Copies of this chain bind each other. A is one copy, B any other.
Amino acid sequence: MTHLSDIEIARAAKKLPIQEIGAKLGIPAEALLPYGHDKAKVQQSFIKGLADRPDGKLILVTAINPTPAGEGKTTTTVGLGDGLRRIGKNAAVCIREASLGPCFGMKGGAAGGGRAQVVPMEDMNLHFTGDFHAITAAHNLLAAMIDNHIYWGNELGIDERRVSWRRVMDMNDRALRDIVVGLGGVSNGFPRQTGFDITVASEVMAILCLARDLDDLQERLGNIIVAYRRDRSPIYARDLKADGAMTVLLKDAMQPNLVQTLEHTPAFVHGGPFANIAHGCNSVIATTTALKLADYVVTEAGFGADLGAEKFFDIKCRKAGLRPDAVVLVATVRALKMNGGVAREDLGSENVKAVAAGCANLGRHIENLKQFGVPVVVAINHFTTDTEAEIAEVKEHARRHGSEAYLCRHWAEGSAGIEELATRVAEIADSGRAQFAPLYPDEMGLFEKIETIAKRIYRAGEVIADKKIRDQLRAWEAAGYGNLPICMAKTQYSFSTDPNLRGAPTGHTVPIREVRLSAGAGFVVVICGEIMTMPGLPRHPAAEAIHLNEAGEIEGLF
C-alpha cells in the first residue's frame, strides 16, 4: 500500500528515455519525433511501412455505469498493460489525451492512478504535443474562411442564419457559448449569432480520431457540412477549399504520441473526442499502429459500457475494421453498492446485499457486451474497504452471467497486483473465441438503428421522436447518409435517460431531443437530454491555486 498521492508517485517515477520505450516496440529512434525526453510522435512514414504486418490482439477496457464512487477504468487499462508485460507479453496501452481547459476549472485528470499511471502527467494535462492546439487552429481556420467567404460576396450562397460551424477554444469559457460576431461596421463583415464550443467537442477532433491516414483525414474534413443555403442544400468544407489547409495544420497531430507507464510499458496517448456528441475513443491511427507493433493492445472507451463500449464497437471498430478479442469490464465494490442504492457516505461499511442488488448493473453490461460476440472478463478494482464477502458476491454474479471476475490490486501494487487478470485475458484473447460483429448492419434505417441500441442495450420500451426529427432522419437517408452509424448522446449514469435511475432498469422511454449530422466524422448524433459543449468555470477555479513552486514544479493542477 502506498500513501503517496498520484502526482507524488508520478514525480518520483524514474522514466526511461522515450527511445528505449520505442525500442520495446521495435520503433527505431529515427522514426520517433521526440518532444522532450519523455514524449514522442511516431513518424507517419514509419507507420505506412507497417501495413503488411499482422495485427496483435485488441482488448477493450470498459466499465459499469459510473458513480461518484469511481471505477478506475483508465487505471485498469494501464495496470492491465503493465500486467501483460509482467507475464512476458509484448503489450501496449492506448488511451485518450486530456483537454487542457477543464484542468483550470476543477482539478486536472490524471492518466490512471496509484501505481498504474501514464507519465509525464503534467505535460499530458497541459499542452502535451500540441495536438489539441492544432485541432483548434484547423477548426477555427474553417470558421474564418466561412465568414470571409460571406464578406467577399458569398458566391456559394451561404444562408448566414444557417451556418452550423461554430468556433472552438480549449478553455472553459461560458461567456463564449452564445455570441454575436461581425459587429463594428462594414469592414468587419455581417453580424450573426454563433458561439464557441470546447475543442474536444469539435467535429475535427472526431475526424482526426477516426481517420485511417492523411488522405482519409482530408477526405473527411472536406465532407464536413458547415452551413446551408436558403434552399437547405448543404455547403461543405470542400466547397470553401479549406480541407487542404486543415490537413496541413493537422499533419503532425495525426502522428500518435508515445509515452510510458510507471512500469515503462509503451503507451499511446492520442486523440480525445467527447464521449457524448462524439464516440469517445482514442485515435484509430494509434490503435492500428499499436496493433502492428505489439502482440496485445489494451485500450479503453469513454463512460460506461452502454455508451462507450457500444460506440467503440459500432463506430470505431466498424469504421476501422478492428476486431476486438476480449473485453474487460471494470467494477468496484463501492460503485456496485451505489448502484444497489447505498449513499456515498455509507460506502465504508460492509453491505453484501447492496452489492448483490448493484450487480444487476454488472450483469446487464456482461449480457450486452456478449451481444457483440466478444468474451467478457470482470476486473474488480480493489479498494481497502472491500470485504471478502462482498468480493465473493461480485465473483458469483459474474459467474452466473457466464463471465468470470478477478480481484485486481494494480492501484496499490502495480503489475504485481493484476497478474491473474492479465494471464486470463491473454488466454482468452489467444483462444480465438471472439466472433465480433457490430450490433446492427450499415443498411438498417437510421431510426431503426436508434431503436436497436435503445432496446437491445438500454432495454428501453420505446423511443419517442417528433415528426420533425423522423423527417430529418429520412431526409438524411435520402441524401445518402442512411448507412452511417448512430452516436448516442445521453447520460452516462444510467441505462436510461434519467441519471438517477441506477441498477438495470427496463421498459423505460428514450426521448430524442435533437439529431445532428457529423458528415465528416461519419455518424449521426442522437441527443437525449442536455448536452453541454462549452463548460464554465466554478466559483473558485482550480486556476486560482495553480502555480510553480520553488523547485519549478506545478502545484494545484492535481
Taking beta carbons and an 8 Å cutoff, which residues of A are in contact with B? 30, 33-37, 44-45, 100, 104, 126-127, 130, 133-134, 136-137, 140-141, 143-145, 147-148, 151-152, 167, 169-185, 187-189, 193, 195, 214, 218, 240-242, 244-245, 247-249, 251-252, 536-537, 539, 541-548, 552, 554, 556-557
Contacts and interface: CB of A to CB of B under 8 A. Distances in A.
A3 B539 CA distance: 61
A536 B248 contact: no
Given A140-B173, A174-B182, A247-B547, 6 more contacts: A127-B133, A133-B133, A148-B173, A214-B548, A241-B545, A247-B548
B127 A134 contact: yes
A144 B175 contact: yes
A281 to B, nearest CB: 24
Nearest to A187: B174
B178 A548 contact: no
Label chain A's interface by main secondary structure.
mixed
Most buried by B among A143, A245, A249, A557: A245
30 contacts: A34-B37, A127-B137, A130-B133, A137-B170, A137-B171, A140-B169, A140-B173, A144-B172, A144-B173, A145-B537, A147-B174, A148-B174, A148-B541, A151-B536, A152-B539, A174-B188, A175-B182, A178-B185, A179-B180, A179-B181, A179-B182, A180-B183, A214-B552, A241-B543, A241-B544, A241-B545, A245-B544, A245-B556, A247-B547, A251-B554
B137 A537 contact: no
Q: Closest 9 CB pairs between A and B?
A: A244-B547, A178-B184, A133-B133, A245-B543, A147-B175, A241-B544, A144-B173, A245-B546, A178-B183
A105 to B, nearest CB: 9
A179 B182 CA distance: 6
Contacts of A180: 179-180, 183
Contacts of A542: 245
Nearest to A253: B127
